[in-house]
């Protein structure tokens, strides 16, 4: 965010700073960490107390911002802020304060929460207020968060507001009363009477508020009678105002019982609004006819000698996609017996060429138009859709790109959805047949096939729209295919099955052990993304198994040996928890839902909790510790000496030359002497334990007048009594050979300044190698380097490397430098970003990275 604070619209500097941090974060996990830290900070502020209403309002706004912008981590319970929100709604001096209090409670407070009782008095007082805005705030809260306990306190006040002079208040009063009492139809009588009275009093005009309530009360006979009586009145009124009023009445009649007289009026509405089309009114009229039986519509057609479809047939040849959608959606509202001539003695309304135009809509670029066309054809003759599906399946392209394959599969899946309807078992059968062709042997090896994510999303979304019985039958049919070890299951279908098995495990009639063995036997045949999903689903299935066969952990261990970092982590997770059924049961109980992502999130929370518990129980893990906690018995240590006197750095004594930075295997920044490398000293020699005598010999080398001044002489600000032992450079003898660390007090350039200075020389790419290997390859260029660790600023989460080609000049005097940022992935590869103004150096480094 490059906008200054004064123009940002932020309430405070704290909010401005938070938004800047979030927008400059390098990754979604980093965003989550920032937001969760802010939530914890606000929790501590509220716990401390003493906040003014203004400060409380700012904190609540920041909490809403945090909870709505978390990406991978749920914000958890924000109930700690609910008392403050309730207090703000009660004590707020301005409408803005009260609105924020109500909005926070609406977003955060669960239904029938105990603190809703604290709002009853506030709502009642606002309903009695003379301020229209305050009344509307209270009514809006009742509409969105209805509560049974508030009914006795506000029922009479709501009835009084039915006759309020403001349409804003009346509309909300009707909807709030219906929202509170919708489950008790006998108590809705005052609302029905008020709506009927309002309709009658406003004739020949129409009260939009009353019509909005009539739409909610369409099951009441008194309301239906009044609305039916309104249709002839508003439709016969001259002028354009009749169209808007007719639309209100039609919407109220959509689910009501339409009289025969009004069916003829609706057909007349279609006739008079079809050319030129008044789209919204035309569509609403066909929706009203969809609720009327075909016999009644047929009778009215005969009386008027007019079919509604004949009024819109000209839209079929229009080039406007909106007209095409309007035609096919209106056609979908009517029974085919009214226009397709499917019954004896009836004639088809559309000519043969018009039927061909309808068939062409199957190739529309609009998916909704294609699905509606399929539904219309399925209603006319299911064999038409079956023939179309067979043709698509036979012409499935081979070797097409992933995007083309996803588009083709989406068309096939649309046909499956229309053909199967709500039959879960039939849908599962269609899926198996479809992917037998789409991911069969003719399409290539399973190990090389990518997952079609669009198809996975479509399938899972459609299955979740089933009722529970259809869901279980569908998942059971798909799960059975996993237990058949000779059945070929492609990667896309395997991801779908894994997600569904995790979600419905324990509810389906498939042996969990068979599922486990079927998934384990196929793991080696899939790409990484499929293996990841399968391993998580297998871990969920383990919670349903009494005993895990030894062959399954063995298969997982073998796969772990030849896999990348992500799969190794998942394999380790499986090996750790597959035998801990009680732990898995607790994780499942803590998950917010039974879906696979929520299961993984609960598992990570459990790991974090256990890791924190182990850290608290071991005091050696709570404070700072050396890189290695202990030495092996083979390593020798000399006895501890008293704190040494301030002496020059060993590096200055050992080598006057420039230094180079290297990266240890653990990811920490380490340094080594260039002189040691020039003399061919091995790492083992560098790691050898230095005796006190050798230290004395080294300290005695060189004239004393060449030694640098002690720290307390160079820096006059150092207190004379300060312990100088902390300023002496020592070699950590506990480090591994590749982790020897010697601190060099040199003035190094700021990486962020160098990076920003070269913003016009950008390169980026993807490298199939780890960050360690990349740094080692950069060292082979024989240039001076500076490496900044991943957890150090700037750009935390990325490894920073500064390469200086000219060692005889300072960084300010030479442009021969390059700044490199590396972000490692879980598959031992990394994304690199390079900035370098020197063309020659940039080309050398870029070729080096591209060649890995």
Q: What is the DSSP letter of 851?
A: T
User: Residue 377 falls within a domain, yes or no?
Assistant: no
pLDDT (tens digit, 9 = 90+) per residue, 559-605? 999 888 889 999 999 999 999 999 999 999 988 889 999 999 889 88
Burial of 846 (0-12, 13-18, 19+ CB in 10 A): middle
Is 833 within a domain?
yes
Got the DSSP string for 611-642?
HHHHHHH-GGGTS---SSS---TTS--PPP-P
How many CA atoms does the CB half-sphere of 744 hold within 13 Å?
A: 23
Q: Rounded to the nearest 5 degrees, what angle is found at the Cα of 819, between the Cα atoms of 814 and 823?
A: 175
Domain assignment of residue 164, yes or no: no
Structural domain ending residue among the three candidates 66, 92, 110? 110
pLDDT at 673: 37
Angle at 586 between CA 582 and CA 587, to 5 degrees: 115
State how far the Cα of 254 lies from the Cα of 262, in Å rounded to an integer: 12
- The domain tally of the chain equals 3
Q: Is 812 exposed, middle or buried (CB count within 10 Å of its CB: 0-12, 13-18, 19+)?
A: exposed
Report the pLDDT value the prediction gives residue 612, as an integer from 0 to 100: 64
Q: Is 435 part of a structural domain of the chain?
A: yes
The answer to whether the pTM exceeds 0.75 is: no
Query: What tens digit of pLDDT does each residue of 160-178 get?
Result: 998 888 889 988 998 888 8
Distance CA 97, CA 845 (A): 57
And the tokens for 413? 């899946």
Tokens representing 398 are 């081979």
109: left (phi over 0), alpha (psi -120 to 50) or beta: beta
Question: Has residue 268 been placed in a domain?
Answer: no
Residue at which a domain ends, from 110, 142, 171: 110
d(CA 502, CA 533): 10
In this prediction, residue 150 carries a pLDDT of: 84
Domain membership of residue 63 (yes or no) is yes
Residue pLDDT, tens place only, 18-56: 888 888 888 777 888 888 888 889 889 888 888 888 888
Residue 538's φ and ψ, nearest 5 degrees, are -60, -40
pLDDT, position 442? 79
Rounded to 10 deg, the angle between the 241-253 and 260-273 helix axes is: 140
Which residue do the tokens 């604070």 mark? 5
Report if residue 334 sits inside a domain. Answer: no
761 occurs within a structural domain: yes
Low-confidence ranges of the chain (pLDDT < 70): 1-2, 72-76, 218, 238-241, 612-748, 806-815, 826-828
- What pLDDT, in 10s, does the model give residues 224-259? 788 888 888 888 776 666 787 888 888 888 877 777
Instruction: Say what angle helices 82-91 and 116-127 make with each other, to 10 degrees.
Output: 20
Segments forming the whole domain that contains residue 781: 751-850
Of 606, 622, 647, which closes a domain?
606
Q: Could you tell me the CATH number of the domain that includes residue 813?
A: 3.30.310.10
């Amino acid at each position: 965010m490059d906008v200054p604070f004064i123009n940002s619209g932020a309430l405070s500097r704290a909010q401005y700073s938070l938004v800047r941090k979030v927008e400059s974060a390098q990754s979604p996990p980093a965003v989550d960490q920032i937001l969760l830290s802010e939530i914890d900070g606000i929790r501590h502020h509220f716990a401390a107390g003493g906040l003014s209403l203004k400060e409380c309002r700012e904190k609540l706004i920041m909490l809403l911002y945090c909870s709505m912008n978390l990406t991978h981590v749920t914000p958890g319970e924000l109930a700690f802020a609910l008392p403050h929100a309730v207090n703000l709604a009660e004590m707020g001096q301005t409408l803005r304060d009260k609105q924020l209090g109500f909005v926070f409670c609406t977003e955060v407070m669960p239904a029938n929460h105990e603190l809703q009782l604290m709002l009853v008095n506030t709502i009642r007082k606002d309903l009695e207020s003379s301020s229209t805005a305050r009344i509307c705030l209270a009514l809006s809260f009742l509409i969105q968060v209805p509560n049974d306990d508030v009914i006795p306190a506000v029922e009479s006040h709501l009835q009084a507001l039915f006759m309020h002079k403001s349409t804003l208040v009346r509309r909300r009063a009707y909807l709030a009363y219906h929202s509170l009492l919708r489950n008790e139809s006998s108590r809705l009588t005052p609302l029905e009477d008020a709506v009927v009275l309002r309709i009658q009093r406003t004739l020949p005009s129409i009260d939009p508020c009353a019509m909005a309530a009539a739409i909610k009360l369409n099951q009441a006979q008194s309301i239906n009678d009044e609305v039916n009586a309104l249709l002839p009145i508003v439709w016969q009124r001259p002028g354009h105002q009749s169209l808007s009023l007719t639309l209100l009445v039609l919407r109220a009649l959509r689910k009501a019982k339409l009289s025969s007289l009004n069916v003829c009026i609706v057909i007349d509405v279609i006739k008079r609004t079809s050319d030129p089309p008044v789209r919204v009114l035309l569509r609403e009229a066909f929706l009203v006819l969809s609720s009327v039986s075909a016999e009644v519509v047929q009778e009215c057609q005969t009386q008027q000698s007019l079919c509604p479809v004949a009024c819109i047939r000209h839209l079929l040849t229009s080039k406007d996609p909106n007209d095409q959608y309007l035609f096919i959606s209106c056609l979908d509202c009517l029974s085919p017996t009214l226009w397709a001539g499917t019954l004896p003695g009836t004639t088809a309304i559309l000519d043969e060429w018009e039927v061909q135009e309808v068939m062409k809509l199957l190739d529309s670029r609009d998916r909704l138009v294609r699905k509606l066309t399929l539904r219309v054809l399925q209603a006319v003759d299911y064999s038409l859709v079956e023939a179309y599906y067979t043709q698509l399946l036979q012409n499935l392209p081979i070797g097409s790109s992933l995007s083309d394959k996803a588009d083709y599969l989406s068309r096939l899946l649309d046909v499956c959805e229309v053909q199967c309807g709500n039959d879960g078992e039939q849908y599962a059968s269609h899926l198996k047949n479809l992917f037998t062709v789409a991911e069969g042997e003719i399409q290539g090896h399973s190990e090389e096939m990518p997952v079609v994510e669009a198809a996975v999303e479509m399938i899972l979304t459609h299955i979740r729209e089933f009722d529970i019985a259809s869901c279980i039958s569908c998942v059971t049919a798909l799960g059975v295919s996993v237990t058949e070890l000779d059945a070929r299951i492609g990667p896309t279908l395997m991801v779908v099955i894994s997600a569904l098995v995790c979600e419905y495990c324990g509810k389906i009639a498939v042996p969990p052990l068979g599922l486990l063995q079927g998934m384990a036997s196929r793991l080696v045949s899939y790409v990484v993304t499929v293996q990841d999903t399968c391993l998580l689903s297998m871990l969920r299935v383990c919670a349903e198994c009494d005993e895990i066969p030894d062959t399954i952990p063995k298969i997982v261990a073998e796969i772990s040996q030849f896999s990348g970092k992500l799969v190794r982590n998942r394999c380790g997770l499986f090996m750790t928890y597959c035998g801990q059924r009680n732990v898995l049961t607790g994780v499942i109980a803590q998950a917010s839902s039974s879906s696979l992502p929520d299961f993984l999130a609960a598992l990570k929370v459990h790991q974090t909790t256990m890791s924190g518990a182990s850290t608290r129980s071991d005091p050696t893990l709570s404070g700072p510790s050396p890189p290695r906690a202990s030495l092996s018995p083979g390593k020798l240590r000399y006895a501890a000496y008293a704190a040494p006197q301030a002496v020059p750095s060993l590096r200055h004594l050992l080598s006057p030359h420039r230094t180079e930075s290297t990266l240890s295997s653990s990811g920490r920044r380490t340094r080594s002497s260039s002189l040691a490398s020039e003399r061919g000293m091995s790492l083992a020699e560098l790691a050898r334990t230095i005796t006190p005598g050798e230290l004395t010999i080294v300290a005695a080398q060189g004239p004393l007048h060449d030694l640098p001044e002690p720290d307390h002489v160079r820096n006059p600000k150092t207190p004379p009594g300060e312990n100088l032992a902390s300023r002496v450079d020592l070699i950590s003898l506990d480090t591994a050979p590749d982790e020897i660390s010697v601190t060099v007090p040199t003035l190094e350039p700021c990486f962020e300044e160098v990076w920003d200075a070269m913003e016009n020389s950008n390169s980026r790419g993807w490298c199939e190698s780890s960050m360690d290997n990349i740094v080692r390859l950069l060292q082979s260029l024989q240039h001076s380097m500076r490496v900044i660790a991943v957890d150090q600023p700037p750009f935390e989460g990325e490894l920073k490397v500064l390469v200086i080609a000219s060692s005889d000049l300072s960084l300010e005097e030479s442009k021969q430098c390059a700044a490199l940022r590396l972000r490692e992935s879980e598959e031992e590869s990394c994304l690199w970003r390079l900035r370098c103004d020197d063309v020659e150096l940039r080309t050398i480094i870029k070729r080096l990275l591209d060649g890995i």
